[in-house]
Amino acid sequence: MTINRISRVVLTPVAFADPPLLNVVGVHQPWALRAILELHTDSGLVGLGETYADETHLARLEAVADVLPGHDPYDTHGLYRLVADVLGKETGGAGASFGGMLDVDSAVDTVYSPFEVACLDLVAREADRPVSDLLGGAVRDRVPFSGYLFYKWAGHPGSTDNGPDEWGEALNPDQIVAQAKRMVDGWGFGSLKLKGGVFPPEEECAAIEALRTAFPGLPLRLDPNGAWTPETSIRVAERLAGVVEYLEDPTPGIDAMARVAASTDVPLATNMCVIAFEHLAPAVAADAVQIVLSDHHLWGGLRRSALLAGITETFGMGLSMHSNSHLGVSLAAMVHLAAATPNLTYACDTHYPWKTCSGMAQDVVRPGVLDFTDGSVAVPTGPGLGVELDRDLLGELHERYLSCGVRRREDTVYMRSVVPDFTPNTARW
Binding site for ligand GKR (CB under 6 A): 21, 23, 98-99, 101, 195, 223, 225, 271, 322-325, 349
- The DSSP output letter for 290 is S
Residue 332 near which of ligand GKR, Mg ion, none (CB within 5-8 Å, type-dependent): none
Rg of the chain in Å (alpha carbons):
21
In DSSP terms, 294 is beta-bridged to: 321
Residue 324 near which of Mg ion, ligand GKR, none (CB within 5-8 Å, type-dependent): ligand GKR
CA distance 50 to 352: 14
Separation in Å, CA 410 to CA 23, 29, 172, 390: 12, 7, 25, 29
CA distance 355 to 348: 17
Burial of 391 (0-12, 13-18, 19+ CB in 10 A): exposed
Question: Shortest Cβ contact with ligand GKR: which residue?
Answer: 23
CB atoms near residue 176 (< 10 Å): 24
- Give the shortest CB-23-to-ligand GKR separation in angstroms: 4
- Give the shortest CB-81-to-Mg ion separation in angstroms: 31
Please, where are the H alpha helices in 158-253? Answer: 173-187, 201-214, 230-240
Closer CB to ligand GKR, 304 or 322, in the complex: 322
Residue 195 near which of ligand GKR, Mg ion, none (CB within 5-8 Å, type-dependent): ligand GKR
- Give the shortest CB-81-to-ligand GKR separation in angstroms: 29
Separation in Å, CA 69 to CA 10, 40, 243: 11, 9, 53
- Give the shortest CB-264-to-ligand GKR separation in angstroms: 20
Residue 80 near which of Mg ion, ligand GKR, none (CB within 5-8 Å, type-dependent): none
- Give the shortest CB-250-to-ligand GKR separation in angstroms: 12
- The DSSP output letter for 205 is H
CB atoms near residue 95 (< 10 Å): 24
Task: Determine which one of 28, 57, 322, 326 is catalytic.
Answer: 322
In DSSP terms, 10 is beta-bridged to: 38
Positive or negative CA dihedral for 278, 316, 146, 376?
A: positive
- Give the shortest CB-70-to-ligand GKR separation in angstroms: 36
Closer CB to ligand GKR, 99 or 190, in the complex: 99
Residue 99 near which of ligand GKR, Mg ion, none (CB within 5-8 Å, type-dependent): ligand GKR
152 is catalytic: no
Closer CB to ligand GKR, 26 or 130, in the complex: 26
- Give the shortest CB-34-to-ligand GKR separation in angstroms: 13
Query: In three state form, how does the secondary structure of 262-291 look?
Result: CCCCCCEEECCCCCCHHHHHHHHHHCCCCE
Closer CB to ligand GKR, 99 or 155, in the complex: 99
Which residues, 250 to 279, sit near Mg ion by CB under 5 A? 271
CA distance 416 to 414: 5
In angstroms, the first-to-last Cα distance of the chain is: 62
* Residue 248 in contact with Mg ion, rule: CB under 5 A: yes
Residue 18 near which of Mg ion, ligand GKR, none (CB within 5-8 Å, type-dependent): none
Phi, psi of 427, deg, nearest 5: 50, 30
Residue 45 near which of ligand GKR, Mg ion, none (CB within 5-8 Å, type-dependent): none
Task: Determine which one of 195, 279, 296, 355 is catalytic.
Answer: 195
Closer CB to ligand GKR, 352 or 372, in the complex: 352
Tell me, by CB under 5 A, how many residues bind Mg ion.
3
Closer CB to ligand GKR, 21 or 240, in the complex: 21
Q: What is the largest CA-CA distance in the chain?
A: 64
* Residue 50 in contact with Mg ion, rule: CB under 5 A: no
322 is catalytic: yes
HSE (CB half, 13 Å, CA atoms) of 366? 8
User: What stretch of H or E contains 113?
Assistant: helix 108-127
CB atoms near residue 395 (< 10 Å): 14
Closer CB to ligand GKR, 125 or 221, in the complex: 221
* Residue 411 in contact with Mg ion, rule: CB under 5 A: no
Footprint of Mg ion (CB under 5 A): 223, 248, 271
Residues labelled catalytic: 195, 322
